Amino acid sequence: MIHHGFSADVFASPRDLVKEIEVKESLGIEGDYILYSGAIQPRKNLETLIKAFEIFKSESGSKIKLVLAGEKAWLWENIEKMATESQFNMDIIMPGRVKFNAVGHLFRGASVFVYPSLYEGFGITILEAFAAGVPLITADNSSLREVGGNGALYFNAQDSNELSRQIKTILNDENLRNDLAARGGEIIKNFSWEKCARETLEFLKS
User: Is residue 81 situated within a structural domain?
Assistant: yes
User: Is residue 13 situated within a structural domain?
Assistant: yes
User: Is residue 165 situated within a structural domain?
Assistant: yes
User: Is residue 196 situated within a structural domain?
Assistant: yes
User: Is residue 98 situated within a structural domain?
Assistant: yes
The whole domain housing 162 covers: 8-205
pTM of the model: 0.85
Number of independent structural domains in the chain: 1
Q: What is the pLDDT along the chain (206 residues), one digit of tens a residue?
A: 443 333 333 345 666 677 777 777 777 788 899 999 999 999 999 999 999 999 999 999 999 999 999 999 999 999 999 999 999 999 999 999 988 888 888 999 999 999 999 999 888 899 999 999 999 999 999 999 999 999 999 999 999 999 999 999 999 999 999 999 999 999 988 876 565 556 556 656 76
The long-range contacts involving 79-88, CB below 8 angstroms and separated by at least 24 positions, are 79/40, 79/41, 79/42, 79/46, 79/47, 79/50, 80/40, 82/47, 82/50, 83/50, 86/50, 86/54, 87/54, 88/53, 88/54, 88/57
pLDDT at 168: 98
- CATH code of the domain covering residue 36: 3.40.50.2000
3-state secondary structure of 144: helix
User: Is residue 93 situated within a structural domain?
Assistant: yes
User: Is residue 186 situated within a structural domain?
Assistant: yes
| Eight-state DSSP code of residue 95 | E
User: Is residue 57 situated within a structural domain?
Assistant: yes
